[in-house]
């Protein structure tokens, strides 16, 4: 049986190094001394606005909101947690009550949901079919890529000997992403999934990022080599990335206060470097000071973004309730919401400026995540964005393959001033000059609780012939 045919079968959690709880002295604590006072003061500020506060409480205290069931019970639990001591329990406070180890969940420990695009199986790959059909089958892996707001802004033109990747700009986010930078990064993620799938199934891809005259939406052309290699020729490191595709998802919950396995940062960098063609740098920030400084920038950016009604309206457009049958966008459960909250959340987000609550939450998430990863480029052009997406895909897949969860703190990259500050923090400067450094993506990594997959359009939905 070819390696990887078992991808549709749940795998046991990695036997590798069990996560180690940090000694109490190393836990960056908001639960003692001035940290706690600060956290409580922030919680009080949030408490002044009732609806946004409820929403924010729900997001911070529920670490098991992953499937759209039993949510009304969870909703009442959330309120209890919020009112027990007059202030909402922060994620960190919850962790300090000894919940860490029980909340760790391996993303590979559960089969992808049956009957959805996630349940793609290597066994059903049309091995005996003409190349064009095989290429279409590879797109099934591309559509599982992450994308900003789950817009899935991609189209694939499948031909007899190639696939053309196009940006679908009808799915752009003009407020949050006015230059289609994150849109292109998202397409880069899909491209990397596609390349991994092609190689896994013995189709040698030749990638061209050259622009096509008169077709500004063409981002890449992947020629399928006519002399296919053997199926098993994919090196083990990349095979692991490929096999992680149906298990990857974003986990926005606080991560457990446990160390990541030794060498994990290096492994993630190495996986990213496989895809970046030397044009994307990967900064691994594990020290407390860096995480705090990034957290401050994220919080600053949150305040600016949420004060903008257009930003909130755009975000609300892509937020859906938990039982929505839409094949794109973000269901409430992906943001830790129960059913009731997910129903009102788009209206609340559209109407109220919840920047302060959001900022406090994100600051805390950054500070208490074991590792932050920043992807940057030396230039800031569509090709750099596409390559960033390819590196991002590999980083996320490598994390998934190691049972590590990931989420995003991109806000500083989305605002010019904050982006410059972040570049300086990383030791560069955001400028047009040769020494410029353009932060593109900020990730946080750690061991997280269970989260469910978000919806996807099918390959057939996004293939144009």
Ligand X SMILES: Cc1cc2nc3c(=O)[nH]c(=O)nc-3n(C[C@H](O)[C@H](O)[C@H](O)COP(=O)(O)O)c2cc1C
| Chain contacts with ligand X (rule: CB under 6 A) | 146-150, 182, 185-186, 189, 249-250, 252, 330, 334, 407-408, 410, 454
C-alpha triplet 276, 280, 283: angle, nearest 5°: 120
Q: Which region, left, alpha or beta, applies to residue 149 given φ > 0 means left and ψ of -120 to 50 means alpha?
A: left
Question: Which residue, among 50, 53, 63, 134, has the nearest Cα to 92 in the 3D structure?
Answer: 63
50-61 vs 339-351: helix axis angle to the nearest 10?
130
Least Å distance, CB 275 to ligand X, is 14
Q: Tell me the C-alpha distance between 75 and 107, whole Å.
A: 24
Which C-beta is closer to ligand X: that of 167 or that of 334?
A: 334
Least Å distance, CB 224 to ligand X, is 25
Token reading at 95: 């962790």
Q: Tell me the C-alpha distance between 87 and 92, whole Å.
A: 13
DSSP state for residue 369 in the 8-state scheme: S
Phi, psi of 121 (to 5 degrees): -125, 135
Which C-beta is closer to ligand X: that of 112 or that of 265?
A: 112
User: Residue 40, Cβ neighbours under 10 Å: how many?
Assistant: 17
Least Å distance, CB 169 to ligand X, is 15
Count Cα atoms within 13 angstroms, Cβ side, for 189. 25
Rg value, the chain, Cα: 21
Which C-beta is closer to ligand X: that of 188 or that of 338?
A: 188
Least Å distance, CB 138 to ligand X, is 18
Q: Which region, left, alpha or beta, applies to residue 137 given φ > 0 means left and ψ of -120 to 50 means alpha?
A: alpha
Phi, psi of 463 (to 5 degrees): -95, 125
Phi, psi of 223 (to 5 degrees): -80, 135
Give the list of residues 6+ apart from residue 256 with CB closer than 8 angstroms, or none. 19, 95, 100, 101, 103, 104, 446, 447, 448
Question: Which residue's C-beta sits nearest to ligand X?
Answer: 146
Sign of the torsion formed by the C-alpha atoms of 22, 298, 60 and 453: negative
Least Å distance, CB 410 to ligand X, is 4
Helix H segments across 161-281? 181-200, 236-244, 264-273
Least Å distance, CB 323 to ligand X, is 17
Which C-beta is closer to ligand X: that of 103 or that of 149?
A: 149
3-state secondary structure of 440: strand
Which C-beta is closer to ligand X: that of 377 or that of 454?
A: 454
Q: Tell me the C-alpha distance between 351 and 369, whole Å.
A: 30
Which C-beta is closer to ligand X: that of 87 or that of 404?
A: 404
Least Å distance, CB 188 to ligand X, is 8
Which C-beta is closer to ligand X: that of 145 or that of 430?
A: 145
CA dihedral 366, 367, 368, 372 (to 10 degrees): 50
Least Å distance, CB 12 to ligand X, is 22
Which C-beta is closer to ligand X: that of 7 or that of 410?
A: 410
Which C-beta is closer to ligand X: that of 259 or that of 300?
A: 300
Which C-beta is closer to ligand X: that of 115 or that of 433?
A: 115
Which C-beta is closer to ligand X: that of 71 or that of 250?
A: 250
Least Å distance, CB 88 to ligand X, is 20
User: Residue 210, Cβ neighbours under 10 Å: how many?
Assistant: 10
Least Å distance, CB 189 to ligand X, is 5
264-273 vs 382-401: helix axis angle to the nearest 10?
140
Least Å distance, CB 250 to ligand X, is 4
């Amino acid at each position: 049986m070819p390696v990887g045919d078992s991808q549709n079968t749940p795998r046991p959690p990695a036997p590798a190094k069990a996560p180690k709880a940090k000694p109490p002295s190393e836990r960056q604590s908001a639960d003692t001394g001035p940290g706690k006072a600060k956290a409580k003061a922030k919680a009080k500020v949030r408490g002044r606005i009732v609806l946004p506060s409820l929403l924010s409480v729900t997001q911070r205290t529920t670490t098991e909101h992953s499937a759209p069931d039993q949510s009304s019970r969870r909703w009442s639990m959330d309120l209890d947690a919020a009112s027990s001591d007059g202030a909402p329990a922060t994620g960190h406070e919850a962790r300090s009550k000894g919940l860490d180890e029980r909340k760790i969940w391996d993303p590979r420990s559960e089969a992808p949901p049956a009957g959805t695009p996630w349940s793609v199986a290597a066994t059903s790959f049309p091995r005996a079919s003409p190349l064009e059909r095989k290429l279409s089958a590879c797109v099934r892996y591309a559509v599982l890529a992450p994308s900003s707001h789950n817009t899935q802004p991609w189209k694939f033109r499948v031909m007899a000997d190639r696939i053309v990747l196009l940006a679908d700009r009808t799915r752009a986010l003009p407020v949050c992403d006015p230059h289609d930078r994150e849109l292109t990064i998202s397409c880069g993620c899909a491209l990397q999934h596609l390349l991994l799938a092609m190689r896994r199934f013995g189709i040698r891809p030749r990638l061209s990022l050259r622009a096509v005259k008169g077709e500004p939406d063409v981002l890449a052309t992947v020629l399928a080599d006519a002399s296919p290699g053997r199926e098993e020729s994919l090196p083990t490191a990349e095979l692991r990335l490929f096999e992680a595709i149906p298990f990857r998802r974003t986990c926005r919950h606080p991560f457990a206060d446990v160390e990541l396995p030794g060498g994990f940062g290096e492994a993630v960098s190495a996986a990213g470097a496989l895809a970046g063609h030397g044009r994307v740098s990967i900064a691994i920030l594990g020290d407390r000071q860096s995480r705090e400084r990034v957290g401050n920038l994220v919080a600053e950016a949150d305040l600016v973004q949420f004060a903008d009604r257009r930003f909130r309206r755009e975000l609300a457009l892509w937020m859906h309730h938990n039982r929505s049958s839409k094949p794109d966008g973000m269901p409430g459960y992906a943001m830790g919401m129960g059913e009731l909250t997910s129903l009102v959340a788009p209206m609340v987000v559209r109407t109220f400026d919840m920047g302060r609550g959001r900022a406090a939450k994100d600051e805390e998430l950054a500070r208490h995540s074991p590792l932050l990863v920043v992807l940057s480029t030396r230039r800031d052009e569509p090709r750099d964005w596409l390559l960033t997406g390819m590196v991002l895909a590999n980083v996320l897949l490598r994390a998934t393959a190691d049972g590590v969860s990931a989420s995003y703190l991109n806000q500083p990259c989305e605002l010019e001033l904050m982006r410059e500050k972040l570049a300086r923090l990383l030791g560069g400067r955001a400028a047009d000059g040769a020494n410029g450094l353009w932060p593109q993506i900020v990730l946080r990594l750690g061991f997280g609780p269970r989260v469910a997959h978000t919806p996807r359009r099918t390959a057939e939905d996004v293939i144009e012939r």
